[in-house]
Amino acid sequence: MRKLTAGLFHSVDGVVSEPNLWQFDSFDEDLGKGMTGMMERVDTVLLGRVSYQEWAGYWPNATADQDFAGFINPIEKHVASRTLKEPLEWQNSHLIEGPLEDFVAELKKRDGGEVAVMGSISVTRQLLFAGLLDELTLMTHPVVAGSGRHLFQDGDPLTRLSLKDQYRTSKGNVISTYARFGG
């Protein structure tokens, strides 16, 4: 069975949206190595509509960060959306038909490498609480973002996690990887 992972940049105050506004001075070589390791394991990406639209408007023509552009542009991408229509413009992008949980459960049974949710807060939440997410990595930057969207909200179900790995980078980022408790 394929592993399903998600990784989000995270501020000390829990913000996971728009990391480009607050992570610029703490992204370091150690964090870059972790990203490279992820890119070597992943061969399929899941995106929500918002992330798809933002990324599809940027990455195909990106002039910076060519390592990530070289990874994300050709990779197989599946997009969860109720409003987008086929054909999707970004290469190797396909709209998920039917319920997200059903699609992901079947995707995990197929042959291949790791499947990663990227930049999609709502998709990460949905798959975590559905019990389909195998690992959640939070890359906590030493910054208080002050405002923005949080991964967890009041009213979320009690969900026990176990810490699988944690390390500190040279600029003080703390990378914590969790699995569902007992998983």
Give the residue extent of every domain in the chain.
Answer: 4-180
φ, ψ of residue 78 to 5 degrees: the values are -115, 130
Residue 113 has a pLDDT of 96
Give the model confidence (pLDDT) of 105-125 as tens digits. 999 999 999 999 999 999 999
Among candidate residues 25, 34, 29, the one with its CA nearest the CA of residue 7? 34
CA gap 64, 10 in Å, rounded: 22
Q: For residue 118, what is the enclosing H or E element? A: strand 114-118
Confidence of residue 183 (pLDDT cuts 50, 70, 90): low
CA gap 140, 176 in Å, rounded: 8
Give residue 111's identity as a one-letter amino acid code: D
CATH tag for 4-180 (out of 3.10.20.600, 2.40.110.10, 3.40.430.10, 3.30.1330.30): 3.40.430.10
In the predicted model, what is the mean pLDDT of the chain? Answer: 96
CA gap 28, 116 in Å, rounded: 22
φ, ψ of residue 103 to 5 degrees: the values are -60, -45
CA gap 138, 7 in Å, rounded: 6
CA gap 82, 97 in Å, rounded: 9
Residue 182 has a pLDDT of 77
Q: What is the pTM of this model?
A: 0.95
Confidence of residue 24 (pLDDT cuts 50, 70, 90): confident
